[in-house]
Amino acid sequence: MKKAIYSVLLFSLLSLLFVSCQKDMEKTILVKPASIQGFSASVTDILLNPDNKTQTVVTFKFEEPSYGTDVVPSYSLQFDIPSDTTGPDAWSKAVVVRLTGNAVERSFNGADLNALLVNQLNMKPGTKADLAVRLVSEILKTTGNPSSVAPVYSTITIAVTPFEDIVIYPALVVKGGNSWITPPPGERAPGYVLTSAGFNSKYEGYLNLPDADGWGGDAFQLVSSTDQKVYGWGTSATTIAEGGGNLWLTPSPVYMKVNVDLSTNAISYTPASFSISGDHNSWSTTETPMTYDVTAGVLKATGVSLTAGKAFAFIGNNSWDLSYKVDEDDKLVFAGPPNWGGNNIVVPATGTYTIILDLSRGAGNYTYSLTEE
């Protein structure tokens, strides 16, 4: 009899334990929401201008989706050109802005939104265009990687008109080492800066190393304009490290293109010489060389005879792989691989010109000029 009672009690306890565990398991099962409700923009037609740079111009809001249990999703906003939101590479070029904590709204002032549109999405200032904005809700593991629960999306489209602004790009500024005396990094002096035109981890600029130490090499460090971190020698001549000693490069003096990627701590140096290739010399990549003016910090060619309506481009190292042309707004742009972009520069009037190529202010700030002699 006692044995039977014990068996009943044991069965009851096990049943209760099973039910309890089952409930606990049910509580921890994540259920993907069907959608994200209420995703909207406070303004759907935004005209940006210098007067609203410091003002809030738009706020994106949404309702917190339910996953069936207490979790804190990771939210982000993706901004892209509508034509880049379809096909196999849909949204791959989007600019991603992550929301902090469990915030269910994100506001932008005019300056930040304008920089996102013009500098990161390459939208044309003064032209009204559609902007696709996608909200992403996802559950991340403690490692930061996505979980097995698929992300949930909600997309809206708004109209935006960006404006032409004076852009101050993030920069890495040269700080000379040993005998090389350079301007204070805070001055961002031309000829001593690498800039991030995409506001990301990649920096580019042209430097002329002066052989200040007198034995064929130069030493320097790079100072960040955003957080004043100092980068120097990494584990080799092609790497950098925060707090590292002097970067060392030889031979010098030499004019070169310098690229840095802070996400991989990589640095590369490409010695560069430039020439002008165009109709005037049957598109020769060597016939019209440019010389580097050390005092002015620019590349120059004088006595160049050009004909109105004809065209030319700037060629580096006798190859179109390093070349510069102009965009629709006559701004100098990289014309090499992989995109091979830009348009040839059209000569405004027949004459003999001094042509200047100024690469001293970092990527995004390259300019040229034609002065009739």
Task: Report the C-alpha dihedral over residues 100, 101, 105, 109, rounded to 10 degrees.
Answer: -20
Residue 188 phi, psi dihedral angles, 5° rounding: 50, 50
pLDDT, residue 23, reads: 44
pTM for this entry: 0.65
pLDDT, residue 141, reads: 65
Per-residue pLDDT band for 329 (boundaries 50, 70, 90) equals: confident
> For the segment 223-267, what is each residue's pLDDT rounded down to a tens digit?
999 999 999 999 999 999 999 999 988 777 789 999 999 999 999
> For the segment 90-121, what is each residue's pLDDT rounded down to a tens digit?
999 999 998 988 899 999 999 999 989 988 89
Does 19 score more than 90 pLDDT?
Answer: no
Contacts of 217 by beta carbon, 8 Å cutoff, 6+ apart = 211, 248, 249, 250, 251, 252
Does 153 score more than 80 pLDDT?
Answer: yes
SS3 342: coil
Domains of the chain, start order:
40-161 (2.60.40), 171-271 (2.60.40.3620), 274-372 (2.60.40)
Average pLDDT of the segment spanning 133-145 = 78
> For the segment 263-307, what is each residue's pLDDT rounded down to a tens digit?
999 999 999 999 999 999 999 999 999 999 999 999 999 999 999
Percent of the chain with pLDDT strictly greater than 70: 90
Q: Is 343 exposed, middle or buried (0-12, 13-18, 19+ CB in 10 A)?
A: middle
pLDDT, residue 2, reads: 45
Does 74 score more than 90 pLDDT?
Answer: no
Annotate 199-253 with three-state secondary structure. Answer: CCCEEEEEEEECCCCCCCCEEEEEEECCCCCEEEECCCCCEEEECCCCEEECCCC
d(CA 68, CA 202): 41
d(CA 137, CA 133): 13
> For the segment 205-222, what is each residue's pLDDT rounded down to a tens digit?
999 988 888 887 889 999
Q: Are 223 and 249 in contact (CB under 8 A)?
A: no
pLDDT, residue 143, reads: 53
Average pLDDT of the segment spanning 331-336 = 94
